[in-house]
Amino acid sequence: MRPDREFLRRPLHDTVRDAGPSAGLSATQTEFGALPDWDLTDLYPAPDAPELTADLEAVEEKAAAFAADYEGKLAALDAPGMLDAIQRYEEIDILVGRIMSYVGLRYYQNTTDSARAKQMSDIQARITDATTPLVFFSLEFNRVPDDHYQALFTAPDGPARYKPVFDRMRAMRPHQLSDELEKFLHDNSVVGAAAWNRLFDETMAGLTFQIDGEEMQLEAALTLLTDHDRARREAAARALAQVFGDRVKLFARIHNTLAKEKAVEDKWRKMPSPEYGRHLANHVEPEVVEALRDAVTRAYPRISHRYYKLKARWLGLDKLQVWDRNAPLPTETPRSVGWDEARQTVLDAYAGFSPRLAELAEPFFDRGWIDAAVKPGKAPGAFAHPTVTTAHPYVMLNYLGKPRDVMTLAHELGHGVHQRLAAQQGELLSSTPLTLAETASVFGEMLTFRKLLAETTDPAQKKALLAGKVEDMINTVVRQISFYDFELRLHAARAEGELTPDDINAIWMDVATESLGPAFEFMPGYETFWSYVPHFVHSPFYVYAYAFGDGLVNALYAAYQAAPEGFQQKYFDMLSAGGSKHHKELLAPFGLDASDTAFWDKGLQMIEDFIDQLEALPD
């Protein structure tokens, strides 16, 4: 997923058959060309397909059989027996993942379609019921004595390759509840956070904004914040503020409820802080995240404050307004990028690094693995969903022809390539911790940017390209760490009691002022812009992963420039490892260590270097 991403206005379109990149695939005709639609038949032929029904029944049968065979018996298993149990568990995991990927992707194609929403909700509830018997597995596994655990996972005929998965599982032992409570939380999940998440998604998808007499959805309205016309940008910002403000009580209720629910569960699990569970899930030490956060917040004056002061000068303004933050430079020529050009740009950049990288990305375009067009009801933003290791990832975009959309394409394809390579690890080991999940995506962006920069000779366009990259990096590093701070403060304040919308607004404005700096003044209404950030709702404390990924990639790219010989193979090895290794092991071949505070300063220095280059260019 891209952080803090703004898009262009939605074009008129219509869906046609047999117009996609390959015969039999559908595409959406737009002013940017024929944009591919997903072909979800690789998962299931249709929403009422007998294969889907059969797999649902198989989940129920296999889960019940698994519980009957293993509940109360895990500690007595020998190494081959434990390997068999894990592989059976993984088989169920693949079935569940395939089913939920299919209904989830269909839902994100049109979140306002009641039939799709109902199917996803009904199947989620059925899957939850079916998998309740499996809750014992992690709980009982964590009670296996340490000496027996070590013997099982070092035996030659045992599950040794799965040890990283279960090491992470056992890290949760101090925070594990009773079997009965864990089963209750599992059953209750569909009416807890999941229900509030769905309310948020459907509310956001249904929002409309009146801008200069035109009705727009969220993507199109956010897109106008990058328009060349300052009046249009202001109109969009004010329309966004009005709609968010009209619904701020609902958004405050969602955040209050989710934060309180998390606090209750964290209390029972004896989590030392609201963010601690995310660090455990990411397999990253809290002190590493704090080193990152501290390095970035110390760099606010040198990076964001400095850059926005320059931008105010370029725009001829004493102060920037929020609608100027991602504005194009006055010297930048407005340009629309067709889909075919975007495809070629990214594939060429990938091939310039390694032909293999381009080969891994190409099927996304040709086989219906990308859904690119903006359509009514479609979820906003962009993401790459790995689905299951026996299938392939799917990429969602909302492509509107902006140069930044090309970078989004490069970003999401990086995720897709990473997911394809990691799939060889199998279902349980393929998932990459969030701290490393942004590596290939940000690296793909960097490759694309460097290619475009090298090919640009016009000083004005070079300046625009550099400025765009700096803004992307600020959005990825500074903004995401400020979002992380917002969450830290919000959860801390919620622990003291219910938060009013004004309370949340004040936290947002404090963080915005600190991170964006004195070059800005903030219009009335900007205080509600926290309400549309989906990460706060779906994945609390996820956002630092973006900054982690950007800093890591900056350090990686510097290593690539310093010693390109053999780098590609080490890079592919790192991506192929998936979740089978800790970040220390993955970065060691490159001579990098994320626990070293100098590591983060090195990554931030690349942003400062780009700002230096901008300052050296004529106004």
**pLDDT of 515:** 97
* Assigned token pair, 423: 């799939």
Tell whether 365 is covered by a domain: no
How many percent of the chain have pLDDT more than 70?
96
Q: Please measure the distance between the N-terminal and C-terminal CA atoms of the chain and give it in whole angstroms.
A: 34
Question: Which residues, in sequence order, are bridge partners of residue 210?
Answer: 215
Amino acid at 49: A
Say how far apart CA 51 and CA 97 lie, in whole Å.
14
Tell whether 63 is covered by a domain: yes
Say how far apart CA 335 and CA 333 lie, in whole Å.
6
pLDDT tens digits, one per residue of 371-417 = 999 999 998 889 999 999 999 999 999 999 988 899 999 999 999 99
Tell whether 374 is covered by a domain: no
**pLDDT of 583:** 84
Tell me the CATH number at 167. Answer: 1.20.140.70
- Dihedral (Cα; 605, 570, 395, 127), 10-degree rounding: -110
**pLDDT of 178:** 80
pLDDT tens digits, one per residue of 142-197 = 889 999 999 999 999 999 999 998 988 888 888 887 878 877 887 777 777 888 99
Say how far apart CA 593 and CA 579 lie, in whole Å.
17
pLDDT surpasses 70 at 12: no
Say how far apart CA 119 and CA 48 lie, in whole Å.
10
Domain that holds residue 167: 42-191
Buried b vs exposed e over 266-293: b needs ≥16 C-beta within 10 Å? beebebeebbbbbbbbbbbbeebbebbb
Say how far apart CA 171 and CA 411 lie, in whole Å.
31
**pLDDT of 23:** 47
**pLDDT of 179:** 77
Tell whether 163 is covered by a domain: yes
pLDDT surpasses 50 at 16: no
Mean pLDDT of 5-24: 33
Band (138; pLDDT cuts 50, 70, 90)? confident
Tell whether 570 is covered by a domain: no
Predicted TM-score (pTM) of the model is 0.80
Which of 169-183, 216-230, 295-309 has the weakest average pLDDT? 169-183
Domain count for the chain, please give it.
1
Say how far apart CA 351 and CA 344 lie, in whole Å.
10
Which of 137-140's residues contact partners 24+ apart within 8 Å by CB, and which partners? Answer: 137/66, 137/70, 137/74, 137/89, 138/169, 138/172, 138/176, 139/176, 139/179, 139/182, 140/71, 140/72, 140/74, 140/75, 140/179
Band (596; pLDDT cuts 50, 70, 90)? confident
Mean pLDDT of 498-515: 97
pLDDT tens digits, one per residue of 43-98 = 999 999 999 999 999 999 999 999 999 999 999 999 999 999 999 999 999 999 99
Q: What share of the chain is helix, strand, coil (3-state, %, to 5)?
A: 65, 5, 30
Q: Is 187 helix (H, G, I), strand (E, B) or coil?
A: helix
Mean pLDDT of 124-147: 91
pLDDT tens digits, one per residue of 431-454 = 887 778 889 999 999 999 999 889
pLDDT surpasses 60 at 203: yes
Tell whether 73 is covered by a domain: yes
Tell whether 258 is covered by a domain: no
Q: Exposed, middle or buried by CB within 10 Å (0-12, 13-18, 19+), for 458? A: exposed
* Assigned token pair, 235: 């109109």
pLDDT tens digits, one per residue of 92-117 = 999 999 999 999 999 999 999 999 99
- Quick one: which of 404, 230, 238, 402 has its CA closest to 327? 230
Chain-wide mean pLDDT for the chain? 90
- Quick one: which of 80, 272, 316, 74 has its CA closest to 179? 74
Q: What is the DSSP-derived secondary structure letter of residue 311?
A: H
Band (10; pLDDT cuts 50, 70, 90)? very low
Please give the residue that has the higher pLDDT: either 395 or 269: 395
Please give the residue that has the higher pLDDT: either 400 or 11: 400
pLDDT tens digits, one per residue of 468-477 = 899 989 998 9
**pLDDT of 24:** 62
**pLDDT of 339:** 98
**pLDDT of 402:** 85
Q: H helices of 495-543, where?
A: 501-516, 534-538
pLDDT surpasses 60 at 18: no
**pLDDT of 280:** 85
pLDDT surpasses 70 at 17: no
Band (9; pLDDT cuts 50, 70, 90)? very low
Residue that is written with structure tokens 């990259």 in the block: 469
Tell whether 110 is covered by a domain: yes
Mean pLDDT of 591-600: 83
pLDDT tens digits, one per residue of 537-567 = 998 998 998 899 888 888 899 889 889 999 9
